Amino acid sequence: MEKPIIRNCSDQFWFVILLFFLLLSVLLCFDYSAFYDAPNNGFLFSVTKQENPFAIAGNKTSFNPDPCKSRYIYIHELPRKFNYDLLEHCEILTRGTEKANMCPYIENLGFGPEIENSQGVFTNSSWYFTNQFMLEVIFHNKMKSYECLSNDSSLASAIFVPSYAGLDVSRFLWESNEKVRDSSGRELLQWLASKPEWKRMWGRDHFLVSGRIAWDFRRQFDNASLWGSKFRFLPESMNMSMLAVEASSWKNDYAIPYPTSFHPSKDAEILQWQSKIRKQKRAHLFTFIGAARPELENSIRGKIIDHCRNSSFCNFIDCSYDGSEKCDNSINVTKVFENSVFCLQPSGDSYTRRSIFDSMLAGCIPVFFHPGTAYSQYLWHLPKNWNKYSVYIPVRDVKEWNGNVEKILLRFSGQEISAMREEVIKLVPSIIYADSRSKLERFEDAFDLAVKGMLEKIERVREMIRNGKDPALGFADEDHYKYTFSNY
């Protein structure tokens, strides 16, 4: 998303008006500071003083004296066992069922090893072999260079909890004793609740980030045969928010994009990439990269694969068994996406896939079959009018479904396709995590949008408290309709 243009200086008349209000408000400020020194009311008036005296001029953003107002974030200093120690002992972390070691992915602030030579698949710099589970590390590092950090938690609008919750729980997810799975999360919550910051809003201004899907923390009952930890059902956790690559259906979980391989350090690198994928020749009408899910009864994957195999317009890359290596490699995967007009994104083990973002990054128009794959997830990052950037083929009942993907996609005209692809290309900055070692000037990245979204949610809770309402109302409720077809 492009940043809104803040100043509009061409009009001299407005400039004079502005000058007048500036003078006026300097006077106002003097008034305020007289009150401000009153010792007993220090805190109260510091709030009042921050209220923008220029607001009468009509445009809050343009004349805001403190660009960080309402955006300050305080980073909790956690015991190292909840973050840094996990990286130091990276050999104990797993990527899931396969036991491959996570250590190589930690370098470069969590982006992983830099890709030196992509044989023309990528642009020349800022591409990495990034692992999705490193999102917590990437986010933490980006937060460390966030422009509105505050050392003083009492001035901060939000409290960031830099725990690597997903990496932590991954050590125990395959552990049969469910109490062991919950233990580290429980300790973290005890620590948080013992801090003075907790009592201010009972945790409702606290948030953390997970590179694993939120369901991994949503075990509803104490039954060892059920999946996951119950971290997010513990009482303190219910008062907090979590950002994860896939949200659960509870309202205090929010979805943010999976990390891709692209972490540009300047605007120009984004523009260069956009122009490369805009010019790309695309030999295939549609592509599916993935594996079947025969063990999942209601999985659409099998049908999609049959369909793809039958169609001369489809390019199917099989990731099952020996194919998994090839599908893990960003260069190979992106090469395929760059060569296709549409990319099929059926759900797999969970609703979402990293592949959504890898394919969009390559300028491939996504095709979704379920609202939970993207539309009801990435509300801060993907636009509401989904038909502009994607194709939706709702499959309410997999067994009954006999839709013809090829026929549906062949119906789009060249012009319609170009327009949709342009929308996808425009979304590139919003779905990437830019390099935290520098700052983008013109674009807001996935981190910026996530922080903005989170701050707005917390502000709404604060507003409820100010209005004497119970902040617990609706905060952590289950949304039974979130992943149904009723809204889409």
Ligand X SMILES: *[C@@H]1O[C@H](CO)[C@@H](O)[C@H](O)[C@H]1NC(C)=O
| Interacting residue ranges for ligand X, rule: CB under 6 A | 8, 59, 61-62, 124, 149, 151, 193, 202-203, 223, 225, 235-236, 239, 303, 306-307, 310, 325-326, 329, 332, 471-472
Parallel, antiparallel, or unpaired for β 206-210 and 73-75?
Answer: unpaired
Rounded to whole angstroms, what are the CA distances from 251 to 159, 221, 247? Answer: 19, 19, 9
Shortest approach of ligand X to residue 137 CB, angstroms? 20
CA-to-CA distance for 40 and 34, rounded, in angstroms?
13
Q: Residue 144 corresponds to which tokens in the numbers above?
A: 């460390």
**Strands across the sheet containing 158-160:** 73-75, 158-160, 206-210, 241-244, 253-255
Amino acid in position 334: T
Residue 451 sits at the vertex; the CA angle it makes with 447 and 452, to the nearest 5 degrees, is: 115
The nearer residue to ligand X, 127 or 389, going by C-beta atoms, is 127
Strand partners, 344: 367
CA-to-CA distance for 290 and 337, rounded, in angstroms?
12
Q: Residue 84 corresponds to which tokens in the numbers above?
A: 């840094």
Q: Residue 186 corresponds to which tokens in the numbers above?
A: 């429980």
CA-to-CA distance for 347 and 376, rounded, in angstroms?
13
Handedness of CA 94, 97, 99, 104 (dihedral sign): negative
**Strands across the sheet containing 284-290:** 314-318, 284-290, 340-345, 365-368, 391-392
What DSSP line would sit under 8-45, residue for residue? ----HHHHHHHHHHHHHHHHHHHHHHHHHT-STTHHHH
The 8 Å CB, 24+ separation contacts for 404-413 are 404/307, 405/286, 405/304, 405/307, 405/308, 405/311, 405/314, 405/344, 405/367, 406/285, 406/286, 406/307, 406/311, 406/313, 406/314, 409/285, 409/286, 409/313, 409/341, 409/342, 409/367, 410/285, 410/313
